[in-house]
Amino acid sequence: ERLCRGWVRKVYDFVGPEIDVPAPDVGTNPQDMLWIMDEYDTINRNRKPGFVTGKAVGVGGSLGRTEATGYGTVYCIREALKRLGIDFKDVTASIQGAGNVAQYACEKLVQYGGKVVAISCWDPKDKKAYTYSCEKGIDPKDLLAPGTLDKFGTIDPEKAKSFSWEQEGGDAWLNKNVNVLIPAALGQAVTQDNVNDINFDKVKIYAEAANTPTTLEADEVLKAKGVYMIPDFICNAGGVTVSYFEEVQNNMNYYWPKDEVLEKLDRIMTNAFNAAADLAIEKNAIPV
């Protein structure tokens, strides 16, 4: 709390609802955003909930914000599948990360009829990453069940064992026999040292749900192998899009139901993806 409030005091002159609106990212949660908002309001002597986004519902937060980045990733994957002529029921996916983005990407993939066969996470106790895999598919209900994940997105090994998930090495998510790979953890995860672990005979789509998860060298390999990459600036834009929705709702003091938020998100993500893909075709960057 002291860190959040102290940060606001230092940057107060450079942020605000009409200047720059902070949003959550790795390591922050709705409580952090609430402290940030409260400190800003204290200094400003006026309530400005639109100053910061990612707040809890009930104190200016938006329904759908929690799911937004993961769902937005899958909306982009859906559009890429259409262009490649792949039915969603034929999708098998492997995800790096088990935090907010990965959790809801997994949920939406399964809702659409796909299957997630592997998901990885960092274990701070062991100071190493693990991949948990299940050939029949990881059930999002198990992943999101109480006790499966801690607040940092670490999977409990005993819970995983109870679900018949196999524990493997941290990079095992990368070489799975899947047609969709989703790096959804931190930056620089796929490099020239591990990119060739990818099963290029199978992988068709590489969706950057994290920020800059792929080095330039690895990016060139993916391109040369003909993998359809959905870049991070499109793929993970769902979160910041609903942050914008949150600011709009704060300014109106009127809040939309969750299905309306997600419908608007779907429409914007779909339009953005197709506009970017069409431009890439025009510039001969991708074939479809």
pLDDT in tens, 218-248: 999 999 999 999 999 999 999 999 999 999 9
Buried b (16+ CB within 10 A) or exposed e, 157-183: eebbeebebeebebbbbbbbebbbbbb
Query: Are the CB atoms for 69 and 239 separated by under 8 Å?
Result: yes
Here the tokens at position 189 are: 């995860």
Ranges of CATH 3.40.50.720 domains, the chain: 70-235
**Separation of alpha carbons 165 and 118, rounded Å:** 9
**What is the C-alpha to C-alpha distance for residues 210 and 16, in angstroms, rounded to an integer?**
26
Query: Which of 153, 176, 126, 151 is closest to 31 using CA atoms?
Result: 151
pLDDT at residue 288 greater than cutoff 80? no
Burial class (CB in 10 A: 0-12, 13-18, 19+), 16: middle
- Which pLDDT belongs to residue 75? 98
Q: What is the pTM of this model?
A: 0.92
Coil, helix or strand for 20? strand
Cα–Cα distances (Å) from 52 to 10, 34, 84, 96, 262, in that order, read 15, 8, 39, 28, 20
DSSP letter assigned to residue 156: P
Q: Which of 241, 234, 277, 279 is nearest to 262 (CA)?
A: 241
- Residue range 70-235 in CATH 3.40.50.720: yes
Structure tokens, 161 = 């064992």
Res. 50 pLDDT band, cuts 50 70 90: confident
| Structure confidence at residue 152 as a pLDDT band (50, 70, 90) | confident
Q: Which of 97, 241, 59 is nearest to 173 (CA)?
A: 97
Each residue's pLDDT tens digit, 182-214: 999 989 999 999 999 999 999 999 999 999 999
